[in-house]
């Protein structure tokens, strides 16, 4: 049930008439199949949302349209409706569902009475927890919520759950709160997407005003917050789903473990707007692609592939593909039912906490080195000469290679994580100053697709 949806006006015009005809007949057919195919209308809604990826089930959509006025129009147009619809309206009810998140109810057309929607013990929802007064701390961009059993939830609630200073501040605060009062942290939400990346509007506005200090503060804040999550004294589990892009991917990468929905589109896509990952994404890709590499082995093939994935904004189209691209670990969990994702993530976090969790220790990284970056640069030059990349694509790709290879150091030089983060931040700021990058950012905001310039 979507309590916050206002009744939609009944459509007009040719397109509206077509949409109305399809919708009306679909809703009426569904109503006539109750109780033939299911005794309860909520089960029909669940089936259509889970099985066919509808945003709203038929009866939820009917409530959103407005039942009395739509039924009246259907009757005027000769659409056959079952008797239980008239009986429901005659009883004084104007919707199939009602009740707050804590106690949702529906009209049972068989029993001709209002019945509570049965709860699912495997489902954990932020709206229910908030109704139970479980909010620990919140601001405009994010909330800290007690998930129960000593687990602290971090919920984003910006547009598309993008990262902004409020969200970053709450990620940082989560570590302070959890280390004091909780056993683990879970990062997830009830929204349409896990996180579509950084708030691009804030970045491009600051870049056009040449407010470099402002951009640096935001980038540094994100780096520090995600590093704190990585080395928190309690385990951190991310629950990514749907869009997990750019900064959202970096949040997932920073967690000790992920419990991902099977349908997760995850990747470091900053190149599409003329930038590169600067919240630790490059650093973590270096660590994941070089993990387990024997001493003395040449890291170039692995670092080269990781650099190419970033430079081409490679996005995994499922959780399983994400493991091959190393956005997820091989042992990260995958949940098929989106409704159970947060509960599964909570149980994974509790498992880590109860297994005597100890945070990882920072370690030095053997950099691939300047010569490796130059070798990758030759491949970039080939793509440029072959017409597969623009001059600006090549500029960004070379900066990615520079960061991924550890900067101007000799091969095998051991450098700190902070060294990589500094390289990320420096490259990000330099790209923000490029006119073509600013054009890419504005084009994405205005057209919702990348510009190739």
At residue 115, the pLDDT reads 92
At residue 310, the pLDDT reads 97
At residue 3, the pLDDT reads 44
What is the radius of gyration, based on Cα positions, of the chain?
Answer: 25
At residue 5, the pLDDT reads 42
CA pair distance 450, 453, nearest whole angstrom: 9
pTM, full prediction = 0.89
At residue 10, the pLDDT reads 60
317, 265 in Cβ contact below 8 A?
A: yes
At residue 385, the pLDDT reads 94
Q: In the chain, where are the structural domains located?
A: 13-116, 126-268+314-361
84, 69 in Cβ contact below 8 A?
A: no
CA pair distance 28, 74, nearest whole angstrom: 9
Tokens 């699912």, located at residue = 120
Among the residues of 255-369, which ranges form H helices?
281-290, 300-311, 319-324, 341-354
At residue 292, the pLDDT reads 82
Token code pair at residue 325: 């691209």
Read out DSSP for 385-415?
A: HTTSS-HHHHHHHHHHHHHHTTSS--TT-EE
Spatial neighbors of 317 by CB under 8 A, at least 6 apart, are 265
Q: Tell me the CATH number of domain 126-268+314-361, given options 1.10.3720.10, 3.20.20.100, 3.40.50.300, 3.90.226.10.
A: 3.90.226.10
Token code pair at residue 42: 């909520």
188: left (phi over 0), alpha (psi -120 to 50) or beta: beta
With a cut of 70, which residues of the chain have pLDDT below it? Answer: 1-11
Q: Is 291 exposed, middle or buried (0-12, 13-18, 19+ CB in 10 A)?
A: exposed
CA pair distance 277, 267, nearest whole angstrom: 10
Q: HSE-up of 210 (CA within 13 Å, CB side)?
A: 0
34, 84 in Cβ contact below 8 A?
A: yes
Does the domain at residues 13-116 carry the CATH identifier 1.10.1040.10?
A: yes
């Amino acid at each position: 049930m979507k309590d916050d949806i206002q009744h939609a006006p009944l459509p007009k015009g040719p397109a509206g008439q077509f949409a109305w005809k399809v919708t009306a007949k679909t809703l009426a057919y569904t109503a006539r199949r109750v109780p033939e195919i299911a005794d309860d209308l909520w089960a029909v809604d669940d089936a259509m949302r889970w099985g066919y990826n509808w945003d709203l089930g038929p009866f939820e959509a009917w409530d959103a349209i407005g039942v009395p006025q739509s039924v009246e129009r259907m009757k005027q147009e000769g659409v056959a409706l079952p008797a239980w619809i008239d009986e429901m309206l005659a009883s004084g009810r104007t919707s199939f569902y009602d009740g707050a998140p804590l106690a949702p109810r529906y009209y049972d057309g068989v029993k001709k009475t209002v019945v509570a929607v049965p709860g699912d013990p495997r489902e954990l929802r932020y709206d229910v927890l908030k109704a139970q007064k479980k909010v620990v701390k919140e601001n405009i961009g994010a909330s800290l919520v007690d998930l129960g059993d000593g687990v602290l939830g971090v919920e984003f609630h910006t547009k598309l759950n993008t990262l902004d200073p409020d969200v970053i501040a709450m990620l940082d605060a989560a570590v302070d709160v959890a280390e004091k009062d909780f056993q683990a942290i879970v990062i997830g939400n009830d929204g349409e997407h896990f996180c579509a990346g950084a708030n691009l509007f804030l970045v491009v506005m600051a870049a056009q005003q040449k407010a470099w200090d402002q951009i640096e503060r935001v980038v540094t804040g994100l780096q520090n917050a995600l590093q704190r999550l990585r080395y928190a004294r309690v385990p951190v589990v991310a629950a990514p789903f749907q869009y997990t892009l750019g900064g959202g991917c970096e949040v997932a990468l920073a967690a000790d473990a992920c419990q991902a929905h099977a349908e997760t589109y995850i990747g470091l896509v900053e190149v599409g707007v003329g930038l590169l990952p600067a919240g630790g994404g490059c650093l973590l890709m270096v660590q994941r692609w070089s993990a387990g590499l024997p001493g003395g082995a040449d890291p170039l093939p692995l670092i080269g592939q990781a650099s190419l994935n970033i430079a081409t904004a490679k996005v995994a189209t499922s959780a399983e593909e994400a493991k091959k691209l190393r956005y997820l670990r091989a042992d990260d969990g995958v949940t098929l039912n989106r409704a159970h994702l947060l509960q599964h993530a909570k149980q994974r976090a509790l498992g880590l906490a109860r297994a005597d969790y100890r945070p990882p220790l920072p370690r030095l990284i053997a950099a691939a080195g300047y010569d490796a970056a130059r070798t990758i640069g030759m491949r970039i030059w080939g793509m440029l000469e072959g017409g597969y990349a623009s001059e600006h694509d090549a500029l960004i790709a070379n900066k990615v290679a520079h960061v991924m290879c550890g900067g101007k150091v000799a091969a095998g030089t051991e450098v700190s994580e902070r060294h990589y983060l500094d390289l990320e931040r420096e490259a990000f700021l330099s790209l923000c100053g490029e006119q073509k990058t600013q054009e890419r950012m504005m084009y994405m905001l205005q057209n919702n697709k990348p510009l190739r310039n």
